[in-house]
Amino acid sequence: MSTATRPARAGAWLLAAPALGLLTAFLVLPYLNMVVMSFRTPSTSNVFAPGFTIANYVDVLGDEDLYYLKILWETLSLGFVTTLICLVLGFPLAYHLARSRSRWSALLYAFVLSPLLVGVVVRCYGWIIILANNEGLINSSLRQLGWIETYIPLMYNWVGVTIGLVHIFLPFMILPITAAIQSIDPRLEEAARSLGASRLTAIRRTVLPLAVPGIQAGSILVFVLTISSYVIPVLLGGFNVVLMPTLVVQQLLDAMLWPFGAALAFVLAIAGTVVVWLYLVLTNRLIRGVTG
């Protein structure tokens, strides 16, 4: 048996080799480089000075006003909120997409994917036209209707950033959940209803727990994309919304403090990983019977 599988396994390694090589060259190595960079001594005249230090991390974590930790917390919070809104908006849509046999569902698919079809900058300017504080579509309409005097602040704050992020990341939530629901037998809902469950209870007790793997995948995608997003917070948040990626870019490109920027980026990566791991540990309890 083992002798028969050995050549097959060698073949599998060969097949995976190009992808592994690519990942090593363009992901693992740069990441390691960044970790090393974060321990280098900062320099004002060079990328870094000779020698290694933990001073960068002390600066990030030990700042007297907890400035960087506060930004980290706000970044993670934005991640939670965006993920939650995407989940609440996305689940019903995903359910509909998975269960609908209508000829219009193809069109709905196209709508769901449409945020991905336009470049991020173009999409942001679209939102600016709608949300802008004085002459934006919403505020000027409300003012003409006489419902407001000045304007509702929809941009250059957390509201605008959250709207923009939800818009672009919604497909990343909907698609995995749709795939998960499609693999759930519709007869399960009928069985639940034959046993006395209302339509919503049937979905809550059968579809929702069985769709947890899809919800996990979608949530992780949206969360990770949100806490690492840069363009949307900058364009829709302006100077009022400062997130970890914004800080990292400032350190790397404006202040040229590569070791400090690397330390900031690494702290964000660690924090994000911990959150995702905690999330998986907690949600895996919900799917005890389905896997393993």
Partner 1 sequence: MTRVAIERLTKRFDDTLAVDALDLEIGDHEFVSLLGPSGCGKTTTLRCIAGFEEPTSGRIAFDGVDVVDRFPEERNIGMVFQNYALFPHMTVRENLAFGLEMRGVASAEIERRTRRALEVVQLGDFGHRYPRQLSGGQQQRVALARAIVIEPAILLLDEPLANLDAKLREEMRFFIRGLQQEVGITTVYVTHDQGEAMVMSDRIVVMFEGVADQIGPPQEIYNRPATRRVASFIGQSNFVAAEVVAREDPDHVRLTTPLGPMRARFSGETPPGAKFDLVLRPEAVAVTDDAGGDNTFRGRLEERYFLGNQLACRLRTEDGELMSLVAPPWLAAEVGAELVGHFAADRTWLVAR
Secondary structure of the chain: what % helix, strand, coil (to 5)? 75, 0, 25
Q: How far apart are CA 246 and CA 248, in angstroms?
A: 5
Length of the chain equals: 292
Of 263, 272, 214, give the one whose Cα is nearest residue 35. Answer: 263
Distance of CA 222 to the CA centre of its chain: 3
d(CA 95, CA 275): 27
Q: Is 183 in the site for partner 1 (CB under 8 A)?
A: no
Size of the site for partner 1 (CB under 8 A): 22
Alpha-carbon gap, residue 130 to 140, rounded angstroms: 9
Q: Tell me the two tokens of residue 22.
A: 């690519």
Q: Is the C-alpha dihedral spanning 276, 278, 281, 284 positive or negative?
A: negative
Q: Based on CB atoms, which residue is closest to partner 1, 118 or 191?
A: 191
- Minimum CB–partner distance for residue 291 and partner 1 (Å): 10
Name the DSSP class of 50: E
Q: How far is the CB of 217 from partner 1 (least distance, A)?
A: 17
Q: Which is nearer to partner 1, 37 or 212 (CB)?
A: 212
C-beta of 278 vs 290, nearer to partner 1: 290
Q: Which of 32, 137, 185, 204 binds partner 1 (CB under 8 A)?
A: 185
User: Taking the complex as a whole, how short is the minimal distance between the CB of residue 103 and partner 1, in angstroms?
Assistant: 12
Minimum CB separation of residue 208 from partner 1 in Å reads 10
Q: Does the protein bind partner 1 through residue 290 (CB under 8 A)?
A: yes
With residue 84 as reference, give the H or E element that holds it.
helix 67-99
C-alpha gyration radius of the chain: 24
Q: Which range in 13-21, 96-104, 167-175, 282-290 contacts partner 1 by CB under 8 A? A: 282-290
Span interacting with partner 1, options 141-149, 159-167, 231-239, 281-289, rule CB under 8 A: 281-289
Do 168 and 120 meet the contact criterion of CB atoms below 8 Å apart? yes
In the complex, what is the shortest distance from the CB of residue 187 to partner 1, in angstroms, rounded to a whole number? Answer: 4
Instruction: Annotate each residue in 186-225 with x if it binds partner 1 (CB under 8 A) or - if it does not, as one string.
Output: -xx-xxxxxxxxxx-x---xx--xx---------------
In the complex with partner 1, which residue's Cβ is closer, 120 or 287?
A: 287
Which residue, 63 or 185, is less far from partner 1 as judged by CB?
185
Residue 280 contacts residue 202 (beta carbons within 8 Å): no
- Closest alpha carbon to 223 in 283, 181, 180: 283
Q: How far is the CB of 193 from partner 1 (least distance, A)?
A: 4
Q: Which residues bind partner 1 (CB under 8 A)?
A: 185, 187-188, 190-199, 201, 205-206, 209-210, 287-290
